[in-house]
Amino acid sequence: MKFNVEVDCTPEEARIFLGLPDMKPIHDAMSAHMQERITAAMSMFEPDALLKTWFPMGGAGMEQFQNAFKMASEAATGKKDK
């Protein structure tokens, strides 16, 4: 014997019928908290802050970084760039 039951209700109505707790207040609070943390963390990804972290010596650090890439390129290809 086979039979089908089709129920037409909203997710909220199904949750209430099944006696499940309403998680919306918790979800909203956690979403707000995560948004605050993400916004605070985004300040670390500003270009000025990143460059200061990567190149603490300013222009001299950038020059050393470029020289390191040039030497790595020369070592990989066996050619010297002019």
The DSSP letter of residue 27 is H
pLDDT at 36: 92
**Mind listing the pLDDT tens digit for each residue in 13-42?**
999 999 999 999 999 999 999 999 988 887
CB 74 within 8 Å of CB 81: yes
CA–CA dist 59, 66 (Å, integer): 11
The answer to whether the predicted template modeling score (pTM) of the entire model surpasses 0.85 is no
Write down the H helix ranges in 1-82. 11-18, 24-42, 47-54, 59-77
Any idea where the domains of the chain sit in the sequence? 8-45, 46-82
CA–CA dist 21, 29 (Å, integer): 16
CB 41 within 8 Å of CB 34: no
